[in-house]
Amino acid sequence: MKKNFSRILSLLLSATLVLSMAGTSFASVSSEKSKLSDLNSQKIKKNAEKKKLQASKSEVEAYIEEVDKKLTDLSTQIYKTQQELDKTEVNIKKTEKKLKAAEESIKAQYADMKLRIKYMYENGDTELLDLILNSKSITEFLNKAEYITELSQYDRKMLNKLKQTRKTISDSKTSLEKDKKNLVTMQTKQKTDKSQLESTVASKQSELSEYEDLLEQNEASSDALDQEIKAQEEKVAQAKIAAQTTQAPTQAAAKAQTNTNNNTNNNTNNNNNTDTNTNPTPSKSSGWIYPVPGHTSVSSDYGYRKDPFSGSSTFHNGIDFPAPGGTPVVAVADGTVVWANYNATAGNWTGIKHSNGVTSVYMHQSSILVSVGQHVSQGQTIGLVGTTGSSTGNHLHLGATSGTTPGNWVNPWSYF
């Protein structure tokens, strides 16, 4: 009775220890995952903020482009208006010269006419008497009289013509001055509009500069967040590895204690059968087995590493097991093949879904020996080691993803 009580107490203590250690490890992993989730949420917000800033920046750039086109048109109009003004100024000066010449012609014509009128007035009677006495005939007299009349009419006619010319030139000058005034008014408005548009552009340029500064700050914050996320992902991976490391010895000890207790029970219940084997033939492993039998060394583990192509620090989503090309690759556990095809990066790869919802992934195989929908057993050959896809040498890349779609990568060591 006491022995049974001791065995029960030992089992309870072992179970408590396992649960305690598992709880602590789970809490640590959960805490690190929570921090990672918060960082990812911040990253999403930063990306949304970046998109909004880029949209606003694009709007300002489009507006500035539109205003620039208006400024170009206005500058062209101002230039053409100035040319019209210059031309009008030249025409005004020419008209003024013509007007001045017409005024001088009128004055000269008027002066000549006045002299003739004065002469005729002062010598009118004498001229008439001379005209009569000196004329040899009535015809000559009439001719001389007609000549005097025509001369008088010519003076009047020329004077009227010159006055009309002066009026025409004066009207032309008035019209040109009016055109000049209109052009000056137009140009003043154009310059005012241009000044306003330039002021608007300056304001928008300042706004654009602010958006560029904000985008630069956003980019810097995003880069910093990326670094934090990478560091946090590494912490999560390390926490998982630590949890496995912590749980493994405890679970092994508990299992050993259970086996010891079972052996004790078997010995107690079968005292007369001491030659009976108390250890039954082992069945299949409850955890994953190594995917390349006889090759357990790791060339690149799950987590951050130096990328073999770029040389930069990148996250490696699986475990690399180096082996000669053509070495058999086996299923790590029972499951169903959910994909078996070629991928530019993964090369010939296979995905096997297991009962726990996790899919084991086998990359870079030289050959695939199973097909989609096929059920495979733990240890069954599913392909051959190779270096297809993005690979630097013969090896098997073993990954683990939650669900049947690659992308939600988890640490494969969690299932060994």
Domain spanning 303-414 has what CATH number? 2.70.70.10
Q: What is the pLDDT of residue 100?
A: 83
Q: What is the pLDDT of residue 392?
A: 87
Q: What is the pLDDT of residue 116?
A: 63
Any idea what DSSP says for residue 282?
P
Q: What is the pLDDT of residue 386?
A: 95
Within 13 A of 205's CA, how many CA atoms are on the CB side? Answer: 8
Q: What is the pLDDT of residue 309?
A: 66
Q: What is the pLDDT of residue 276?
A: 34
User: Please, where in the chain does CATH 2.70.70.10 lie?
Assistant: 303-414
Instruction: Give the DSSP H/E element, type plus range, for residue 381.
Output: strand 381-384
From first to last of the 416 residues of the chain, give the pLDDT tens digit.
545 555 555 555 555 554 455 555 556 777 877 777 877 888 797 788 888 888 987 887 788 778 766 867 877 888 888 888 898 889 988 888 887 887 787 778 667 766 766 555 555 545 555 655 566 667 766 665 666 677 677 767 777 877 788 788 889 879 988 888 898 998 898 889 878 877 886 887 788 778 788 888 888 877 877 887 888 788 788 877 876 776 555 555 555 555 555 555 445 444 444 333 333 333 355 699 999 999 999 999 999 988 776 677 888 999 999 999 999 999 999 999 999 999 988 999 999 999 999 999 999 999 999 999 999 999 999 999 999 988 889 999 999 999 888 889 999 999 99
Closest listed residue to residue 291, CA positions, set 381, 393, 191, 390: 381
Can you tell me which residue has the tokens 């000669």? 324
Q: What is the pLDDT of residue 103?
A: 78
Q: Which CATH architecture has domain 29-227?
A: Orthogonal Bundle (1.10)
Can you tell me which residue has the tokens 């939650």? 402
Long-range contacts of 195-203 (CB under 8 A, 24+ apart): 197/67, 197/70, 197/71, 197/74, 198/71, 200/67, 201/64, 201/67, 201/68, 201/71
Any idea what DSSP says for residue 378?
T
Burial class of residue 384 in the structure, from the number of CB atoms within 10 Å of its CB (0-12 exposed, 13-18 middle, 19+ buried): buried
Confirm if 223 and 46 have CB atoms less than 8 A apart: no
Confirm if 340 and 370 have CB atoms less than 8 A apart: yes
Residue 271, Cβ neighbours under 10 Å: how many?
8
